[in-house]
Amino acid sequence: MSDWTNLWYVWLILLMVFLLLLCGVSASCVKFCCRKKRLPVETFPRHPCDLTVIGMDSDSTAHSTVT
């Protein structure tokens, strides 16, 4: 069996995986904390909109030209 202290590349891989995991957890915590403290900002202000609906019969000429 191999001695675990002589396998330096295994320790290097384990250290890199641990550091990546630590960075991911830290980034998630920072993102969560910043999103929680920041007030929600609307990108587009809401404006009142008017909607007009026109009823059309199937016998009207406008309907036959549209279809």
Amino acid at 22: L
pLDDT (tens digit per residue) in 5-58 = 678 888 899 999 999 999 999 999 998 888 766 666 667 767 777 777 777 666
Instruction: Read off the pTM.
Output: 0.45
**pLDDT surpasses 60 at 62:** no
Domain layout of the chain by residue ranges? 1-43
Instruction: Specify whether the CB–CB gap between 62 and 56 falls below 8 A.
Output: yes
**pLDDT surpasses 60 at 63:** no
Residues whose CB is less than 8 angstroms from the CB of residue 10 and which lie 6 or more positions away in sequence, other chains included: 4
> What's residue 67's pLDDT?
47
Burial letters 23-33, b for 16+ CB under 10 A, else e = eeeeeeeeeee
Tokens of 45: 């202000």
